[in-house]
Amino acid sequence: MSLIFACLFFVSLTMAYTSELKKQDPDNPVCVIKTSIGDIFVELFQKDAPETVKNFIGLAEGTKEFTDPVTNEMVKKPYYDGLIFHRVIKNFMIQTGCPLGNGTGGPGYSFKDEINADSLGLDKIKAVDENMNPHQFLMIRSQQQFSNTFIAPALKKLGIAINEEYQARMDEVKEIVQAITLKECYEKKGYRYTDSLRSHPPVKGAVAMANRGPDTNGSQFFINLVDTPWLAGKHTVFGRVIKGMEVVDKIGGIHVDAQNKPKEDVKILSIRLLDK
């Protein structure tokens, strides 16, 4: 009887524990990121970023092949076990997933972004305001950069080749420039969006792929310490923290060196799916 009671108690405890995890979608899987200072529970958006989630789970559980950076051979093993959080920026994010521990490593392959710019509202946000000031998310720092981004394409579209004509048709140029959206600006930088998906904004607790630009996803990912709207449309958000945000915040407050690397390693012990 005591064994039966113990089993029933364990099952009821597990069910109660699982019910504490508030998921956006009951069908979404949950993974546990066990770190050296605590556990982080992440809901994975398998319907909204299917290939990204599939890659993440495959690497985490050791079912996906990757290139070992030491031997340069293809291997299958739990990828993230033993890796550190190599980049921590206070009031921004914590990043991990580099097998070399310095932000330059990956699994030996890259894959495409899974982002819907329209669902993030980027198709509605104007790239310049009524005074022709560029949106802050574009990080345009000089007049030359502004001209290359907006004025030159508008002149080309209107067939304007000389300055006198530009001065005479300035209102037309302004109209074209003020119609440009953030989505269009990002597309000109190489980002390609998928209308069939539903994207999630990079808010506090969001889990997103780190990259070097469009379609350069691999193994590195970050967790937001705050909302980061300037990253919307540039990084695939494939999950969110649903328990253990205090652990994320603790990592985010750790002392770092000049390269934003923690002075004391915070390790990932394992990343595994939580049984439903």
Same-domain check for residues 168 and 206: no
Cβ neighbours of residue 213 closer than 8 Å, sequence gap 6 or more: 189, 190
What is the model's pLDDT at position 20?
Answer: 66
What is the model's pLDDT at position 8?
Answer: 42
What is the model's pLDDT at position 9?
Answer: 42
What is the model's pLDDT at position 50?
Answer: 98
Beta strands 221-224 and 93-96 are: antiparallel
| pTM for the model | 0.90
What is the model's pLDDT at position 17?
Answer: 46
What is the model's pLDDT at position 218?
Answer: 98
CATH label of the domain that carries residue 263: 2.40.100.10
Same-domain check for residues 174 and 198: no
Number of domains in the chain: 2
Same-domain check for residues 89 and 220: yes
Q: Tell me whether residue 264 is in a domain.
A: yes
51-92 pLDDT per residue, tens? 999 999 999 999 999 999 989 999 999 999 999 999 999 999
Residue ranges of the chain with per-residue pLDDT less than 70: 1-20, 276
* Cβ neighbours of 191 (radius 10 Å): 18
